[in-house]
Amino acid sequence: MVHRIDVLPDANGKVTATRQDVAAGGPAANAAVAFAALGGQATLITGLGRGPVARIVCEDLASVGVTVIDVLAACRTDAPVSSVGVLESTGERTVIGADATHMTAEPPAAAELDALLTGADVVLVDGHHADLTEGVAQAARAIGRPVVLDAGRWRPVMQALIPLATDVVASDVFRTPGASSSADAARDALDWGAHAVVTTHGADPIDFAAADGSGRVEVAEVDVVDTLGAGDVFHGAYAFALARGATLPERVEFASRIASERVTHAGPRSWLDAIRRVAAQPMSPTLD
């Protein structure tokens, strides 16, 4: 549930939203929506259940071209709901959600999972549903598929996921245990086995590093109206570019360009057509 608001409410207060949207969300779901909008075939493996919210989620994702495989389809549970406030003046968002903490999801049966992953060009995981995420990442790496890890914030499962990831895409606030900076966390990820690490810093330049060198990509200056899911869109676009065979600097530039376009549109789905037009431009990273 996404509400656009003029001010954040005080304690025990109320505000009237200027706009309200209901849409499927979460890091992997948002990345899948972006991947599909760019022209990819996106499949989301997750745990939803049989409640009314789960039905809304599946219908919404199907409407934007995302296939859903629900490993909890037979369970009498329901998907979590997040309440999101987006400030009209800055586009900044505040999120309150359950993060699926009341659900335990296991990977699909081995034969089903192998069939899914054999047909995939890239796999993205986000750390939610820890057992499911780790199982999918292990299976993907076992058959040589690239694995992109959305490292928005540290979770215990990250200790297992980073060595399984070929590409770690981290936020500025992501920290490995003992790391005092995002640069320290990036070095740890490379030491633990990741082939490439990308660190976003909001509107500031994006850092990337690999065994053969490092660099920085500038971020376009745009009028920001809605930052909700911008990082997730970055991850989906990055995965799309990786599947297309782009180099590391090209992947970062492409993802930055797509995410920058997303934040200029209000609402969880209003940006889909726009990023298709932006994606048609050639990849030409501007390095610092």
Q: What is the reported pLDDT for 285? A: 62
Percent of the chain with pLDDT over 70: 97
Q: Tell the residue number behind the tokens 């086995």, with chain if given.
A: 193
Is pLDDT above 80 for 101? no
286 band by pLDDT with thresholds 50, 70 and 90: low
In a domain, 288, yes or no: no
**287 domain-assigned:** no
Classify 13 in phi/psi space as left (phi over 0), alpha (psi -120 to 50) or beta: beta
Summarize pLDDT for 80-97 with one digit per residue, the tens. Answer: 888 999 999 998 888 888
Q: Which residues contact 278 (CB under 8 A, 6 or more apart)?
A: 257, 258, 261
| C-alpha span between 147 and 77 (Å, rounded) | 29
Answer yes or no: are the C-beta atoms of 26 and 5 closer than 8 Å.
no
pLDDT digits (tens, 9 = 90+) for 105-136: 888 889 999 999 999 999 999 988 999 999 99
What's the pLDDT band for 147 if we cut at 50, 70, 90? Answer: very high
- Residue 199 falls inside a structural domain: yes
* Number of separate domains in the chain: 1
Domain assignment present for residue 286? The answer is no
Sheet with 93-96, side-by-side order of all strands? 19-21, 2-5, 83-87, 93-96
Residue 49 forms part of a structural domain: yes
pLDDT of residue 80: 81
| 284 in any annotated domain | no
Q: Give residue-wise pLDDT tens across range 251-281.
A: 999 999 999 999 999 999 999 999 999 988 8
Q: At which residue do the structure tokens 């990442």 appear?
A: 137
Average pLDDT, the chain: 93
Report the percentage of the chain scoring pLDDT > 90. 77
* Residue 288 pLDDT > 60: no
pLDDT at 157: 94
Residue 66 maps to a domain: yes
Q: Which domain holds residue 12?
A: 2-279
Q: Is residue 285 part of a domain?
A: no
Instruction: Compute the average pLDDT of residues 154-174.
Output: 97
CATH of the domain at 258: 3.40.1190.20
Q: What's the Rg (C-alpha) of the chain?
A: 18
